[in-house]
Amino acid sequence: MTKNKNLLLKIERIKRAKKEAEDLLEVKSRELYILNRSLEEQVQQRVKELEQAKNEAIDLKNQAIEANKAKSIFLAKMSHEIRTPINGILGMTQILNDTPLSEEQKKHLDIILKSSQSLLYLVNDILDFSKIEAGHTSIENIPFDVELLCLEIIDIFKASTQNSNVKIQFDIKNQKKGFNIISDPGKFKQILFNLIGNAVKFTKKGHVSLVLNFLKNESVELVVKDSGIGISPERINSIFDQFEQAETSTNRVYGGSGLGLAITKSLSEMLGGKINVKSVLHQGTTFTVTIPAKMTKKVIKHKKDEITNEIDVNEKFGTGKHILLVEDNPINQVVAKAILSRNGFDITGVVNGELAVKALQEKSFDLVLMDCQMPVLDGFEATKKIRQELNLSELPIIALTAGAIEGTEQKCLDTGMNAFLTKPIIEQDLLKCLKKFLKKSSFKKIA
């Protein structure tokens, strides 16, 4: 009996223990459920916060990119604006230089000329760099004779170092006779100018050499080597950064702004290439630029296609020709008029497109030099009117473009202009262009 009672009690205890265990399990699993929920909520909250932080970071990055672009566009526009008065100074100085002057006046004028030239170099560098940063630089892909281009640049530096202790050398390796390369000659020129310019600037004695090497994998290598001051290992990694110079005293001793190599590196990369430097302090520096460039067979040019020789100002080849100069900027007007009149041209100047159309209705001209950005009626609209409403389809219209805004040149040709010249006006370029378009003698108004 007692045995049975004991068994019953035992069962009862087990049942209670089981119930307690079940209750505990339920409480614990509820707690676990709640914990799990809160953990899930916390995770979701964290993911949300992270997402928000990520979006904010993306926004900030985009804002920074936009701000940088706005800065570059601002710099490009400002430096472009600054070029106009500098060119006024340069143009007038050159014209003054051709008048009778005392020795003293010549010296003063020379200082004005050199100072405005270095100011122009600096502004041009800032303009180039900000255009690259703003993505306003386009790449040309045309065949050109890279050997000739190197020779031309070497000749310029040879002339400028004639009386110094620096020997300039040029060598070609693996020459590809009868072949041109396809790339951007303007950018090649800029790269070489910067590198050889630096080499000459930082070498007081010894040599500066350029080696043009045609590599097997359809690329060219430009090696510019000098025996100059060299660059210390601590500073060599920062020389490609904008406004960086190897030593703080560089600007004081050698001048410059520290933009040349930043531009050179960007240009080399834009052409799909790369730039490397090796240097030993007090012994010399070697810059190597490698640029991919396809080869193409040279086309033999006819004589008349060859670059025309310098035009002699005394030739006065403009005598008897009447040019309509459409330009709103008074400085540019004065410079262009001075250049044109000393070459014998008759000039009528107007300050906007509407006045140009009016002038052409009243009189016939041999050629129009047309600025693009002008108040009242711009150069593009004026050209359309001249071609369509006045029916002057044969009249040569040469655009004067600022070159700071991408696509302007193509727009000029698309609206019916015959050619374009970028400002600042360079006398020889203007004369060559005028000579080309004035060959067809006078153009009569087709009524």
Ligand X SMILES: Nc1ncnc2c1ncn2[C@@H]1O[C@H](COP(=O)(O)OP(=O)(O)OP(=O)(O)O)[C@@H](O)[C@H]1O
Residues contributing to the site for Mg ion (CB under 5 A): 198, 260
Among 261, 275, 398, 438, binds ligand X (CB under 6 A): 261
Q: Is 170 in the site for ligand X (CB under 6 A)?
A: no
Distance CA 276, CA 372 (A): 41
Burial category of 59 from C-beta neighbours within 10 Å (exposed 0-12, middle 13-18, buried 19 and up): exposed
- Closest to ligand X by CB, 236 vs 331, is 236
Among 127, 212, 222, 231, interactor with ligand X by CB under 6 A: 231
Exactly one of 84, 97, 257, 288 binds ligand X (CB under 6 A); that residue is 257
> Given CA atoms 107, 109, 115, 117 in this order, what sign does their dihedral have?
negative
Q: State which residue, 183 or 194, has the beta carbon closest to ligand X.
A: 194
Alpha carbon distance 360, 51 (integer Å): 64
Residue 268 interacting with ligand X (CB under 6 A): no
State the minimum distance, in angstroms, from the CB of residue 257 to Mg ion: 8
> Does residue number 226 form part of the binding site for ligand X (CB under 6 A)?
yes
Spell out a b/e string for 203-239, using b for 16 or more CB atoms within 10 Å of the CB, else e: beeebbbbbbbbeeeebbbbbbbbbbbbbeeeebeeb
* 199 scored as a contact of ligand X (CB under 6 A): yes
Question: Residue 414: CA atoms inside 13 Å, Cβ hemisphere, count?
Answer: 5
For tokens 């790369």, name the residue: 274
Among 116, 198, 268, 401, binds ligand X (CB under 6 A): 198
- How many helices and strands, by DSSP H and E, does the chain display? 11, 13
- Please name which of 161, 163, 153 lies closest in space to residue 224, comparing C-alpha atoms: 153
CB under 5 to 8 A by kind: which of Mg ion, ligand X, none does 415 bind?
none
Name which position in 260, 353, 379, 424 contacts ligand X (CB under 6 A): 260
**266 part of the interface to ligand X, by CB under 6 A:** no
E strands, 274-415, are 274-280, 284-292, 294-297, 322-326, 346-350, 367-371, 397-401
Q: Does 246 bind ligand X (CB under 6 A)?
A: yes
CA dist list (Å): 435 to 18, 349, 418: 112, 20, 13
250: contact with ligand X by CB under 6 A: yes
**Closest CB to Mg ion: residue number:** 260
Cβ neighbour number for residue 1 with a 10 Å cutoff: 5
| Dihedral (CA of 179, 184, 185, 189) sign | negative
Nearest Cα neighbor of 418 from 442, 384, 395, 385 is 395
Q: Choose which of 223, 239, 395, 404 interacts with ligand X (CB under 6 A).
A: 239
SS3 231: coil
For ligand X, which is the closer residue by CB, 155 or 241?
Answer: 241
**How crowded is the C-beta side of 233, counted as CA atoms within 13 Å?**
0
Q: Pick from 88, 91, 143, 228: which binds ligand X (CB under 6 A)? A: 228
Residues 281-310 close enough to bind ligand X by CB under 6 A: 285
Number of residues that bind ligand X (CB under 6 A): 23
CA distance 188 to 267: 8
Output 72 or 198, the one with its CB closest to Mg ion. Answer: 198
Shortest distance, CB of residue 131 to ligand X, whole angstroms?
15
Identify the DSSP state of 405. S
User: Minimum distance from CB of 258 to ligand X (Å)?
Assistant: 4
> Is position 433 an interface residue for ligand X (rule: CB under 6 A)?
no
- Least separation in angstroms between residue 172's CB and Mg ion is 25
With CB under 5 to 8 Å by kind, the binding choice for 258 among Mg ion, ligand X, none is: ligand X
Task: Tell the smallest beta-carbon distance from residue 276 to ligand X (Å).
Answer: 13
Give 108 or 274: the residue with its C-beta nearer to ligand X.
Answer: 274
Q: Which partner in Mg ion, ligand X, none is near 213 (CB below 5 to 8 A by kind)?
A: none
Residue 202 lies near ligand X (rule: CB under 6 A): yes
Piece in contact with ligand X (CB under 6 A), picked from 44-52, 64-72, 245-253, 395-403: 245-253
Q: Confirm if 389 and 363 have CB atoms less than 8 A apart.
A: no
Residue ranges that bind ligand X, judged by CB under 6 A: 125, 194, 198-199, 202, 226, 228-231, 239, 244-246, 250, 256-262, 285
